[in-house]
Amino acid sequence: MQIYTTTLTAGSLTLNKADGAMLVSLAIPDGASCTFIGNLPFKGLSPTAITLSGGQVFNLATPTPTSPLDGITITWLSGSIDIVIGF
């Protein structure tokens, strides 16, 4: 697995199937926040963004390389959001 790391301090980062990401991990330090949203409706309900804030860690992984993460957007709200993406 190859790893990409970044610190999001503005804007947003979107992961699509074509990117081939198998893992995303977010670390949100005190005083920072971001939103995380997928793009897949489920049972007729549209997705809504969840807000992650200071002190939270969020991890999401796919079980196989043939099913990469898709349609995920991380949007910066404040502070510095540390992101690790595995391919």
Structural domains in the chain, sorted by start: 3-86 (2.60.120)
Secondary structure (DSSP) of 33-82: EEEEEE---BTTBPP--EEEETT-EEEEE-SSTTS---SEEEEEEES-EE
pLDDT at residue number 65? 87
pLDDT digits (tens, 9 = 90+) for 11-31: 999 999 999 999 999 999 999
Q: In this predicted model, what pLDDT tens digit does every residue of 44-56 receive, in sequence order? A: 999 999 999 999 9
Average pLDDT over residues 56-83: 96
